[in-house]
Amino acid sequence: MASTPSISEQQAFPVLDVPQIARLRAFGTVKDTHPGEVLFDVGECAYSLVVVLEGATDIVDRANTDHVLKTSGPGEFNGELGLLTGQSAFTACIISKPGKVLIVPHAGVHEIIATIPDLSNILVTAFAARRQILMLSAVASLTIIGREEDAEALRLLEFADRNRIPYRWLDPHNPSDTSAIATCGSPEGDMFRVVLDGRRTLERPSPLDLARAIGLDLFRQEGRPSDLIVVGAGPAGLSAAVYGASEGLSTLVVEDTAIGGQAGTSSRIENYVGFPAGISGEDLAFRAEVQAIKFGAHITVPRRATALERRDNTYAVRLDEGSVLLGRSIVIATGARYRRLSLRGQEAFEGVGIYYAATELEARRCRKREVVVVGGGNSSGQAAMFLSQYASCVHLLCRGSDLAQTMSQYLITRLESTRNVMIELRTEVTEVRGGETLDGVTIINRSTSETRNLGVCGLFVMIGAEPCTGWLRRTVALDEKGFVRTGAALKTSGDKSDIAGAALSPFRTNLPGVFAVGDVRSGSVKRVASAVGEGSVVVQAIHQHLAACAKLA
């Protein structure tokens, strides 16, 4: 589940004053209410904002015998982040005391956000805070039933966690979950399944099945190409989306796995300017996501771009399930993906012992047990520090003979002074073992050739990453390692739409109107701050490109 909320509960439930309500009235209609009347229900898409004028409403958890989560009186309002993203409702809103409410339809909410800054701040802050509260309290219309050892179930949990979809998880092998499983409206058995709003059951759903079922995936382009399509929602893509959408570009973001990218998997980013105590990658990603949505960007997840094609002055981005999105400009922000070890039998333990990120989700499974972290870079050092708060012992294995060559000194100092972190240099994993989950590894010290067996429940592999550019082959110029070539290193294409300042952008690729930012770019600095910086700066070149195209048209 999500980490401690950074947005307080007080911000979640503000009371609007009379002038504020008066301004909202222009966007909705007033309606008399009766006890028991349902104003929106679990699973409803594009539901309305409900402002209480007289009487009271209850927000109830349908999956938990209509338990009342919040009662709202005059001046309070009902709705949460799904109102902006298009996700279906996770709770129901029922009249508990008759009176009057102002109903503001979905489109009206977007108009308020776009046109009234002070109300926009109140609504967006409250929506985001409520989502965090839902995540932390495990209140959900969504019940995931699956065993801890089921890799598919764990993949779905990771998808829900990383995309901040509220859920509760029940394990059919856990006796304390038996009665909850019996009452949640699902057929019996220990098969992995998801129960939606206590009515529909999805059997062994993929992340895409789930996204479709809860409306995460609703956005459809209506004929006209978007001004900007951003591929990848890591720090670079989210930043391009925030700046693009806030500067009036119709912006569509396509993300394969989870909003936040690599940064979203970092337990604590300590070198991002403005956060002296550090910030979790998950928190940073959530803030950026809310900001992008607030400015009107549409984010579609999970959707993988599989090809980029040029069509006159526009580009077509082909997606994995066959659909095609059209954009007048493209930002490639697909970053990089972790490298794997090559150990016999490792596939069987992916997600059930072998991990490529160390977030709370993985750490909880390693409580009071031993784990191994492989890698000599900052990400492995951070992971080892984080896991040391949960595991009884963290073995940090590094192939090289000197950590200082690859890791920041501040991290080395911390690791060396942490009692339950063992740094083992010139050491590698040679074997993984286990039944349904990982329970041991063999390691070898290359200096002494000594081998040892370690009983561990987690092997965290943090040995660098490769660029996600397979979908660009044959269209975009890549360097010898597969990163996208940009800027001065490229010859100007001579294309007329390139004549404006966009041709001078350090982020342009060999195709006019196609830019690359962040880790995917050849020669980029692999940092959150630089990815965010590039994502913001590139928007100026996009404006120049679009203006040049408009002149030519």
Ligand X SMILES: Cc1cc2nc3c(=O)[nH]c(=O)nc-3n(C[C@H](O)[C@H](O)[C@H](O)COP(=O)(O)OP(=O)(O)OC[C@H]3O[C@@H](n4cnc5c(N)ncnc54)[C@H](O)[C@@H]3O)c2cc1C
Site residues, ligand X (CB under 6 A): 231-237, 254-257, 261-263, 265-266, 269-271, 304-305, 333-336, 357, 379, 382, 468, 471, 518-520, 526-529, 531
Whether residue 55 contacts residue 95, with contact meaning beta carbons closer than 8 Å, is answered with: yes
- How far is Cα 332 from Cα 484, in angstroms, rounded to an integer? 9
Secondary structure class of 197 (helix, strand, coil) = coil
> Which is nearer to ligand X, 170 or 468 (by Cβ)?
468
> Which is nearer to ligand X, 399 or 526 (by Cβ)?
526
Secondary structure class of 175 (helix, strand, coil) = helix
521 strand-pairing partners: 484
Give the shortest CB-303-to-ligand X separation in angstroms.
6
Helix-helix angle 378-387:409-416, to 10 degrees: 30
Helix-helix angle 528-552:235-246, to 10 degrees: 40
- How far is Cα 548 from Cα 495, in angstroms, rounded to an integer? 11
Query: How much of the chain is in helix, strand and coil states, percent to nearest 5?
Result: 35, 25, 40
Residue 290, token pair as written in the block: 């809310």
Give the shortest CB-315-to-ligand X separation in angstroms.
14
Secondary structure class of 315 (helix, strand, coil) = strand
Give the shortest CB-241-to-ligand X separation in angstroms.
11
Give the shortest CB-449-to-ligand X separation in angstroms.
31
- How far is Cα 39 from Cα 357, in angstroms, rounded to an integer? 41
Residue 175, token pair as written in the block: 């006796």
Give the shortest CB-526-to-ligand X separation in angstroms.
4
> Which is nearer to ligand X, 91 or 382 (by Cβ)?
382
Give the shortest CB-268-to-ligand X separation in angstroms.
7
Residue 220: closest CA among 286, 303, 290, 331: 303
Give the shortest CB-207-to-ligand X separation in angstroms.
12
Give the shortest CB-360-to-ligand X separation in angstroms.
13
Strand positions, DSSP E, 349-392: 354-355, 370-374
The whole-angstrom distance between residue 139's C-alpha and the CA centroid of its chain comes to 19
Whether residue 260 contacts residue 287, with contact meaning beta carbons closer than 8 Å, is answered with: no
> Which is nearer to ligand X, 50 or 520 (by Cβ)?
520
> Which is nearer to ligand X, 93 or 252 (by Cβ)?
252
> Which is nearer to ligand X, 382 or 522 (by Cβ)?
382
> Which is nearer to ligand X, 46 or 529 (by Cβ)?
529
- How far is Cα 14 from Cα 496, in angstroms, rounded to an integer? 53
> Which is nearer to ligand X, 271 or 453 (by Cβ)?
271
